[in-house]
């Protein structure tokens, strides 16, 4: 039975600002659902308050409402569009579901005759109410850990007495494990129980007997209205129970499960999904398996919606779960839909993987001074990376190379821990770098049995690590001149980077690259095809690997490569890698627009990125997707293979920008602003000279390379001082210091964590107003797309400030200086494309804080506020297809738009919440107000100095 013809228009609820536990996976799911519905001619109406995502861009939906996610906003939209037939709330994470349930309880859907599709509210209530869920599982014969519900402190104490420690406390109706904790000691129990009851919106917690050391698995399911069920992906957590899945290293397909147990797990998952309700759509089920030969299975939880893992499972398999789930909600059955990758088989088809994927989370603990860095049941990661390889080892190496934490992969870079006590401590208490510490432990000679006893990580994974270590030892016996071909090939097949092999052989990376080119050990590209090459795939979605040469009967030797190079002119867009504070989804938005604009200009578009959560890595965003680390060696090999016209680096944040120097050195054309100009803006000395020549004021500053230099400079410049390292994003390591002691301590600390870095010391303009401007420049003309004034004073990072567009308090004289300075700087830097400039205004003089000739965090916000596709325009300028004067700019904004930062401090309860020059917000929302008399503006303005820290 095909789709329901009576549904003509659908409201989709987005997930709002990015917070830890609910990141851009849901923007990816929502974007896919919107595209899926529009294919069927459905009118789409979207509500989402997040301006940074491509999801809220006009290319995605017919009507977009950038409004707060409240029932009041829902009613306003339904009054404006009384013809809306249905609401799809499953694509916006817990935020969308909670809003949908609240609107349901208030009778809003009933009042406007709107049907809820894609989810069964009763199913949600059963799965969120842990007591009901437990009863149901008992009824259908699915085992669970001993657990009980507490709605009061006293009841919680009774349960603890009965079960004994260790225990798990989970708060009901929360996301990202908020309020969850493992309690080993009775003395910690009271505080953690109180916290869990407080965090839960219904003041209820579930107390479980902790299944520490059990193995954890997730299955992603899809079901249609005819009760056809497919299992899209089985994901195994390398980390055992006790670490939130969002903070775990996960592997697909499952590696250490016997087939018999996997079949039992499949049957249980399908049985569970059918028992919780009769709905069509996606479902995520989590299990724990005992780490012995019995392999007992217990259910942990089930989420009857598109989940955080759905994005990962979609990218891992090439099966677009959200896209298909949206069609199922519309009434299609699986056998009526096409497999999107092969376009010849049906969607009623379980993907088979002939490769391995490894996901590693990306944390940002450095932004939260004093934060508890141990990993547990409450999610703390802000992003993630995924590596695809022919083996677990290759995929693990690629994932570690994608993290951008100054590591070149596992080991072999001289950066591991060498102290026995530190290693044992880090293995015992799970932390963000345990993936590397396991290698250090093996290198030190700690037996695998001991590592397994401490970490409970399955022996199979540890043996994979040991093989890598033994290979490193073997290679280290040779020099670059006498290294045998088969050893070099094995190292490459196991994912070691040229840089790591160079470390083992004590030579240069370029020598290793030259050696393997001579020996014909070159990367080949394989398709992600969902069906292990059983059918032809139509979508060019690739990962790289190394293969042995095949020899034919006539003596011809070759390796097979699935990536066929066309003779079209090509552009490579470098993605922004994993999300992190300071470089979030805004840059993915820019990359997607860069790809779309390049395609409009007739180029074949090539995307390189390793972030599984985003739209840029969707298989049909660019003409070709290389799901590879944004890491020099991988990028260089793709460029040698594809021979593009050039590479766009200014849309992918600091990640892409950092590669500009290498690209330039290797003679690869950078599209838009040249490397020299990008470098000039980052080099404080040269940039200040440029400002001086143009008579543009800037705060007094100096450059220091040691604590002694800094103390001498302080005498010249005078306190307060703003201290920061060069070449960083999101204000990393920035601090305002007010005396010599603070200065010395901070400089010593910075040089320890970022050695050989030049530190910039600026005289801090106390009490100044901060403003910023974004502009497009083609080398001749400059068009300022937006000038924003920050509500908070200068000294709070621009990403943490409430930015108002247009400014509300800058006089004509100051505005003219901002415009003049912006135009002068853009031209002096030979900018081609986007530029962002930050200003401090004091006593009616406008000083320059910094200039970045690239896409900035605020470009998507300005584009949404003014309803203009600025990244599209800027890309066409970069490609030389258009000049600034060719565009008919027509910004539309009544009143003001405010970019409001959103923080995830609740994940770090003991952290100082003061704001300063280092960015801490994880996301943002947009607020439109008609006038400055609005209460919300007044509240923001009156609190503007509350959090300023020095």
Residue with tokens 């590209």: 525
Output the pTM of the full model.
Answer: 0.93
Per the CB < 8 A criterion, the answer to whether 118 and 224 are in contact is no
Query: What is d(CA 739, CA 761) in angstroms, rounded to the nearest whole number?
Result: 13
Exposed e or buried b per residue across 69-91, where buried means at least 16 C-beta atoms within 10 angstroms of its C-beta: beeebbeebbeebeebbbbbbbb
Residue 677 has pLDDT above 50, yes or no: yes
Q: Peptide bond preceding 112: is omega within 30 degrees of 0, i.e. cis?
A: no
Query: What is d(CA 426, CA 934) in angstroms, rounded to the nearest whole number?
Result: 51
Query: What is d(CA 281, CA 326) in angstroms, rounded to the nearest whole number?
Result: 7
End-to-end Cα spacing for the chain: 64
Residue 179 has pLDDT above 80, yes or no: no
Residue 176 has pLDDT above 70, yes or no: no
Which pLDDT score, from 0 to 100, does residue 536 have?
Answer: 67
**Of the candidates 723, 698, 728, 704, the residue with the CA atom closest to the CA atom of residue 847:** 698
Query: What is d(CA 16, CA 176) in angstroms, rounded to the nearest whole number?
Result: 15
Per the CB < 8 A criterion, the answer to whether 682 and 757 are in contact is no
- Residue 729 binned pLDDT confidence (cut-offs 50, 70, 90): low
Residue 259 has pLDDT above 90, yes or no: yes
Which pLDDT score, from 0 to 100, does residue 631 have?
Answer: 95
User: 3-state class of 836 per DSSP?
Assistant: strand
Q: Peptide bond preceding 720: is omega within 30 degrees of 0, i.e. cis?
A: yes
Which pLDDT score, from 0 to 100, does residue 496 have?
Answer: 97
Query: What is d(CA 11, CA 91) in angstroms, rounded to the nearest whole number?
Result: 11
**Of the candidates 670, 603, 659, the residue with the CA atom closest to the CA atom of residue 631:** 659
Residue 335 DSSP symbol: G
Which pLDDT score, from 0 to 100, does residue 341 have?
Answer: 65
- Higher pLDDT, residue 357 or 797: 357
Residue 588 has pLDDT above 70, yes or no: yes
Residue 211 DSSP symbol: -
Q: What is the mean pLDDT of the chain?
A: 90
The 10s digit of each residue's pLDDT in 694-713 is 999 998 888 888 888 888 88
Burial label for 405, CB within 10 Å (0-12, 13-18, 19+), is middle
Phi-psi region of 795 (alpha: psi -120 to 50; beta: other; left: phi over 0): left
Which pLDDT score, from 0 to 100, does residue 157 have?
Answer: 86
DSSP assignment string, 187-203: HHHHHHHHHHHHHSTTS
Helix 121-128 with 130-140: angle, nearest 10 deg: 100
**H or E element at residue 269:** helix 259-276
The 10s digit of each residue's pLDDT in 794-803 is 888 889 999 9
DSSP assignment string, 727-775: S-STTTT-EEE-SHHHHHHHHHHHHHHSTTPPEEEEE--TT-EEEEEEE
Which pLDDT score, from 0 to 100, does residue 949 have?
Answer: 47
The 10s digit of each residue's pLDDT in 929-950 is 999 998 989 888 888 765 554 4
Mean pLDDT to the nearest integer, 743-750: 84
Give the 3-state secondary structure percentages of the chain, helix then strand then coil, rounded to 5: 35, 20, 40
**H or E element at residue 793:** strand 782-793
CA atoms within 13 A on the CB side of 877: 29
Which pLDDT score, from 0 to 100, does residue 175 have?
Answer: 62
**Of the candidates 385, 574, 357, 389, the residue with the CA atom closest to the CA atom of residue 492:** 389
Q: Peptide bond preceding 496: is omega within 30 degrees of 0, i.e. cis?
A: no
Per the CB < 8 A criterion, the answer to whether 525 and 532 are in contact is no
Q: Which residues contact 877 (CB under 8 A, 6 or more apart)?
A: 672, 776, 777, 778, 832, 833, 883, 884
Q: How far is CA 938 from the centre of its chain?
A: 33
**Of the candidates 366, 322, 371, 370, the residue with the CA atom closest to the CA atom of residue 347:** 322
Per the CB < 8 A criterion, the answer to whether 331 and 1 are in contact is yes
- Higher pLDDT, residue 150 or 445: 445
**H or E element at residue 286:** strand 281-289
Query: What is d(CA 901, CA 798) in angstroms, rounded to the nearest whole number?
Result: 10
**Of the candidates 721, 729, 680, the residue with the CA atom closest to the CA atom of residue 704:** 721
Q: Peptide bond preceding 741: is omega within 30 degrees of 0, i.e. cis?
A: no
**Of the candidates 849, 935, 940, the residue with the CA atom closest to the CA atom of residue 898:** 940
Residue 113 DSSP symbol: T
Query: What is d(CA 67, CA 71) in angstroms, rounded to the nearest whole number?
Result: 11
Residue 915 DSSP symbol: B
The 10s digit of each residue's pLDDT in 866-893 is 999 999 999 999 999 999 999 999 999 9
DSSP assignment string, 865-893: HHT--HHHHHHHHHTTS--GGGS------
User: 3-state class of 838 per DSSP?
Assistant: strand
Tokens for 726, please give them: 């060069």
CA dihedral 878, 783, 855, 902 (to 10 degrees): -160
Query: What is d(CA 412, CA 565) in angstroms, rounded to the nearest whole number?
Result: 34
- Higher pLDDT, residue 840 or 529: 840
**Of the candidates 351, 338, 315, the residue with the CA atom closest to the CA atom of residue 542:** 315
The Cα diameter of the chain in Å comes to 83
Residue 512 DSSP symbol: H
Per the CB < 8 A criterion, the answer to whether 356 and 252 are in contact is yes
The 10s digit of each residue's pLDDT in 597-635 is 999 999 999 999 999 999 999 888 999 999 999 999 999
Per the CB < 8 A criterion, the answer to whether 682 and 715 are in contact is no
Residue 908 has pLDDT above 70, yes or no: yes
∠ Cα 421 424 428 (to 5°): 135
Q: Which residues contact 845 (CB under 8 A, 6 or more apart)?
A: 697, 817
Mean pLDDT to the nearest integer, 384-410: 95
Query: What is d(CA 469, CA 491) in angstroms, rounded to the nearest whole number?
Result: 11
Residue 446 has pLDDT above 60, yes or no: yes
CA dihedral 635, 639, 640, 645 (to 10 degrees): -160
Query: What is d(CA 140, CA 345) in angstroms, rounded to the nearest whole number?
Result: 34
The 10s digit of each residue's pLDDT in 447-465 is 999 999 999 999 999 999 9
The length of the chain is 950
């Amino acid at each position: 039975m095909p789709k329901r013809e009576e549904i003509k228009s659908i409201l989709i609820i987005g997930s709002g600002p990015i917070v830890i536990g609910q990141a851009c996976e849901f923007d990816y799911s929502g974007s896919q659902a919107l595209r899926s519905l529009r294919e069927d001619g459905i009118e789409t109406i979207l509500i989402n308050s997040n301006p940074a995502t491509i999801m809220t861009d006009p290319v995605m939906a017919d009507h977009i409402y950038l409004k707060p996610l409240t029932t009041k906003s829902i009613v306003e939209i339904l009054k404006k569009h009384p013809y809306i037939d249905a609401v799809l709330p499953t694509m916006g994470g817990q935020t969308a579901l909670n809003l949908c349930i609240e609107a349901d309880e208030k009778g809003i859907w009933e009042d406007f005759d709107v049907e809820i599709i894609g989810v069964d509210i009763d199913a949600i209530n059963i799965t969120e109410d842990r007591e009901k869920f437990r009863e149901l599982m008992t009824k259908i014969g699915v085992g669970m850990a001993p657990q009980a519900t507490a709605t009061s402190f006293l009841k919680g104490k009774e349960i603890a007495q009965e079960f004994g420690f260790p225990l798990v406390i989970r708060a009901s109706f929360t996301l990202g494990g908020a309020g969850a904790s493992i309690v080993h000691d009775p003395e910690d129990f009271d505080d953690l129980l109180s916290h869990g009851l407080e965090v839960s919106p219904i003041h209820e917690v579930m107390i479980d007997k902790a299944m520490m050391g059990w193995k954890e698995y997730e299955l992603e399911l899809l079901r249609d209205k005819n009760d056809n069920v497919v299992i899209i992906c089985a994901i195994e957590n390398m980390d055992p129970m006790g670490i939130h899945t969002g903070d775990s290293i996960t592997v697909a397909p499952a590696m250490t499960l016997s087939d018999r147990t996997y079949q039992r797990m499949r049957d249980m998952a399908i049985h569970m999904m059918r028992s919780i309700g009769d709905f069509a759509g996606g479902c995520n089920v989590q299990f724990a398996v005992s780490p012995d030969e019995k392999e007992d299975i217990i259910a942990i939880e089930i989420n009857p919606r598109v989940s955080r893992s759905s994005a990962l499972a979609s990218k891992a398999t090439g099966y677009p779960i959200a896209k298909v789930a949206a069609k199922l909600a519309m009434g299609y059955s699986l056998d009526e839909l096409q497999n999107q990758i092969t376009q010849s088989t049906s969607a009623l088809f379980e993907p088979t993987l002939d490769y391995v994927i490894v996901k590693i989370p990306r944390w940002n603990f450095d932004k939260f001074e004093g934060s508890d860095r141990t990993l547990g049941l409450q999610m703390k990661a802000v992003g993630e990376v995924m590596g695809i390889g022919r083996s677990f080892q290759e995929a693990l190496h690629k994932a570690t190379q994608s993290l951008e934490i100054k590591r070149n992969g596992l080991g072999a870079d001289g950066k591991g821990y060498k102290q026995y006590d530190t290693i044992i401590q880090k293995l015992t208490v799970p932390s963000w770098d345990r993936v590397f510490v396991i290698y250090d432990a093996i290198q030190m000679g700690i037996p695998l049995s001991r590592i397994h006893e401490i970490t409970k990580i399955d022996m199979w994974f540890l043996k994979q690590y040991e093989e890598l270590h033994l290979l490193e030892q073997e290679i280290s016996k040779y020099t670059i001149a006498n290294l045998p071909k088969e050893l070099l090939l094995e190292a490459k097949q196991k994912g070691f980077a040229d840089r790591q092999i160079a470390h083992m052989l004590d030579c240069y990376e370029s020598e290793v690259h030259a050696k393997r080119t001579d020996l014909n050990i070159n990367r080949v590209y394989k398709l992600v095809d969902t069906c292990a090459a059983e059918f032809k795939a139509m979508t060019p979605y690739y990962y790289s690997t190394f293969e042995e040469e095949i020899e034919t009967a006539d003596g011809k030797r070759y390796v097979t490569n699935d990536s066929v190079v066309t003779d079209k002119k090509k552009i490579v867009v470098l993605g922004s890698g994993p999300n992190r504070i300071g470089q979030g989804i805004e840059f993915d938005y820019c990359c997607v627009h860069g790809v779309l604009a390049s395609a409009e200009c007739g180029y074949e578009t090539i995307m390189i990125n390793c972030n599984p959560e985003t739209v840029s890595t969707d298989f049909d965003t660019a003409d070709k997707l290389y799901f590879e680390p944004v890491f020099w060696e991988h990028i260089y090999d793709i460029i040698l293979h594809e021979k593009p016209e050039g590479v766009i680096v200014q849309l992918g944040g600091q990640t892409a920008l950092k590669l500009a120097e290498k690209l330039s050195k290797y003679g690869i054309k950078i599209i838009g602003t040249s490397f020299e100009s990008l470098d000039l803006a980052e080099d404080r000395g040269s940039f200040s000279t440029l400002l001086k020549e143009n008579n543009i004021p800037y705060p007094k500053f100096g450059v220091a390379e040691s604590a002694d230099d800094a103390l001498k400079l302080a005498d010249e410049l005078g306190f307060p001082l703003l201290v920061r390292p060069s070449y960083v994003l999101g204000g990393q390591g920035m601090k305002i210091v007010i005396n010599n002691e603070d200065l010395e301590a901070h400089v010593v600390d910075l040089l320890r964590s970022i050695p050989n870095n030049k530190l910039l010391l600026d005289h801090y303009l106390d009490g100044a107003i901060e403003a910023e401007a974004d502009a497009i420049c083609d080398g001749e003309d400059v068009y300022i797309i937006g000038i924003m004034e920050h509500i908070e004073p200068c000294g709070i990072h621009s990403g943490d400030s409430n930015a108002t567009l247009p400014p509300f308090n800058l006089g004509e004289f100051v505005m003219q200086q901002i415009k003049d300075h912006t135009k002068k700087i853009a031209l002096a830097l030979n900018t081609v494309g986007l530029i962002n400039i930050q200003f401090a205004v004091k006593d009616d003089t406008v000083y320059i804080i910094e200039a970045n000739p690239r896409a900035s965090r605020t470009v998507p916000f300005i584009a949404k506020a003014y309803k203009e596709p600025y990244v599209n325009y800027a890309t066409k300028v970069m490609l030389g297809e258009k000049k600034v004067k060719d565009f008919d700019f027509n910004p539309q904004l009544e009143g003001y738009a405010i970019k409001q930062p959103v923080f995830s401090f609740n994940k770090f309860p003991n952290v100082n919440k003061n704001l300063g020059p280092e960015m801490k917000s994880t996301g943002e929302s947009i607020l439109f107000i008609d006038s400055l008399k609005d209460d919300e503006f007044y509240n923001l303005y009156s609190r503007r100095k509350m959090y300023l820290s020095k």
